[in-house]
Amino acid sequence: MSNPDISWTSLYNNQADADGYVAFNADRRLGQNQYASRYADGAHDSPNLGSDLRWKNLDSGNYHDLLIHKDDLVTFHARVKAYQHDASYGRAKDAQHYLAITGKS
């Protein structure tokens, strides 16, 4: 049984490498990672929602190798979710709009 007092990010923080990076592929909260990873760099005509975030192996072309810094997880999630919500209603905005989202309260 999961502990509701533990945030979802703490599970990833505990898996971070020495530089603070976690495997993007381990997270399924944004749907299938092969599609969610497109928002990291704007691949396949997706908006680039991760241009100012910290990544490793972004240029590898393999989402299995992709790492994101643990402190950027919440921001990336907030941006992608906001974009997906808007796009589902046909109201997607320019990527700059979503880059202003920090994911912090």
- Alpha-helix runs per DSSP H in 30-72: 33-36, 38-41
Entry pTM: 0.85
Residue 1: pLDDT band by 50, 70, 90 thresholds? very low
Rounded Cα–Cα distance for residues 61 and 51 (Å): 16
Residue 58's nearest CA partner among 70, 73, 42 is: 42
pLDDT digits (tens, 9 = 90+) for 60-81: 888 889 999 999 988 998 999 9
Q: Quote the pLDDT of residue 53.
A: 96
Q: Tell me which of 81 and 103 has the higher pLDDT.
A: 81
